[in-house]
Structure 1
Amino acid sequence: MRGLSGGGAGAARRSSRAVITAAAALTAVALFAAACGTGGTGARDEGPAHASAVAGAASPSPSPAGTYKRVDAVRLLKADPGVSAAVKKELKPCAGDDYPVDVSYGDLTGGTRYDVVINVLTCTDAVGIGSYVYRETGGSYKNVFRTEESPVYAEIDQGVLSVTKQVYRKGDPISSPSGEDVIPYRWKTGRFVQGKPVHTDYSGTVGGQPSPVPDN
């Protein structure tokens, strides 16, 4: 479910793929209404084919990050020079004070506080247009990952950054992508390192199972 954040607050999202798959576009109005509520779980909060990763400060420690701190996601994005002008243009309320921003918190880098994963979506069809990870360093948050190749959505999956990208073939409508690539990123030696993508073909998946993307 997409989350809408009002001045940094937001609503919990149940499924990343519901945001950027065909169902998201077809049910955008219903999703919008459901996301306008407030609340949070502590782990989640409302609110190119390779992504560019910015180096962080340190390798993860053996123990998980210890504390969760809510951030003002909209303010953080607007102040970040690494966020494109096109994405910042979409950082305006969809209705009232509700922004099309989904925020998750969790341990990705082994920092002293939970890392912040922020997704920016369009108001009209709930398509992800930018995904970012911020790491707390010296009392402030530093952008350590970003991808703005739409449609895209990032989430925390058992300590791994998982980035889902819809795949469209010629003639596919926005509501009906042909498949998706799920790309894992792990924090190593101060930066996110891309793992092997897994591709799912919606129309022709063999046995219903995703298949690894072959190396180029």
Structure 2
Amino acid sequence: MTVLAAVGLFSLAACSTGGSGARDEGPAHSDPVVSSSPTPSASTGLPKKKIDAVRLVKDDPKVSPAVKRDLKPCAGETYPVDVSYGNLTGGSASDVVVNVLTCADAVGIGSYVYRAQGGGYENVFKAEEPASVYAEIDRGDLVVTKQLYEKGDAVAYPSGEEVITYRWASNHFSESERTRSDFSGAVGAEPTPPSAD
């Protein structure tokens, strides 16, 4: 009985010392977690305050009038924009990726990358689509996903998608990889009504 008690106490002591189990190993993947309201950090150059992405887009002469016209609050004062910060261009401050979406179905209509320049931000990339486009930061690369629609496709059911990877070099983004996926027309398709014959 004394031996069992000693083993039990030893086990509890080993568990309570902090150990070096899987909990200390870190996250399962190494992709950076990017927040739209980051904590300031001198080493990463993240902005000390949240960027006004709506003002950035509306004041940008490179953004089409159609996107600016559609950029309105969805509810109250909430605008349909997704913002992420990260290092895409190798500058001393973080780059800002802004995706403008539709209110009704959150479809991306414009994606932009802004680089810190002289106390402001310069547009160094844009992708505007009438259908759907969305840009993300993936391990220092810019990855843009475009939904592909054929005539008669519902917004929720595109015929396919292209994923394009861009890398920054010589002061501009260049395409480094492109993949295309074609989706089955059977998934999400409306059932055909029986004929009247």
Question: Equivalent residue for 1:170?
Answer: 151
Q: Percent same amino acid at aligned positions?
A: 60
Counterparts of residues 32-71 of structure 1 (less than 5 Å): 43-45=34-36, 66-69=44-47, 70-71=50-51
Counterparts of residues 150-189 of structure 1 (less than 5 Å): 150-189=131-170
SS in 2 for 1:93: coil
Alpha-carbon distance in structure 1 between the residues aligned to 2:123 and 2:61: 10
Bigger relative contact order (CA 8 A; separation at least 6): 1
List runs of 5+ in structure 2 lacking aligned partners.
1-31, 38-42, 186-197
User: Given the two structures, how large is their TM-score scaled by the length of structure 2?
Assistant: 0.70
Describe the shift of the 1:42–1:156 C-alpha distance in structure 2 as closer, same or farther (beyond 3 A): closer
SS in 1 for 2:158: coil
Describe the shift of the 1:42–1:175 C-alpha distance in structure 2 as closer, same or farther (beyond 3 A): closer
Structure with larger Rg: 2
Measured after TM superposition, the shift of residue 79 of structure 1 is 0.7
Measured after TM superposition, the shift of residue 156 of structure 1 is 0.3
Measured after TM superposition, the shift of residue 42 of structure 1 is 7.7
Quick one: which of 59, 66, 80 aligns to 1:79? 59
Q: Deviations over 1:162-214 (max 9, x none)?
A: 0000011222111110111000000001000012310112218xxxxxxxxxx
Q: Is the 8 A contact 1:66 1:113 kept in 2?
A: yes
Question: Equivalent residue for 2:176?
Answer: 195
Describe the shift of the 1:148–1:86 C-alpha distance in structure 2 as closer, same or farther (beyond 3 A): same
Question: Equivalent residue for 2:82?
Answer: 102
SS in 1 for 2:177: coil
Q: Is the 8 A contact 1:42 1:105 kept in 2?
A: no
Q: Check if 1:89 corresponds to 2:73.
A: no
The one-letter amino acid of 2:182's match is D
Alpha-carbon distance in structure 1 between the residues aligned to 2:54 and 2:90: 24
Question: Equivalent residue for 1:15?
Answer: none
CA RMSD of aligned residues (A): 1.7
User: Given the two structures, how large is their TM-score scaled by the length of structure 1?
Assistant: 0.64
Question: Equivalent residue for 1:131?
Answer: 111
Q: Deviations over 1:91-133 (max 9, x none)?
A: 2110001000000100000111110000000111111000000
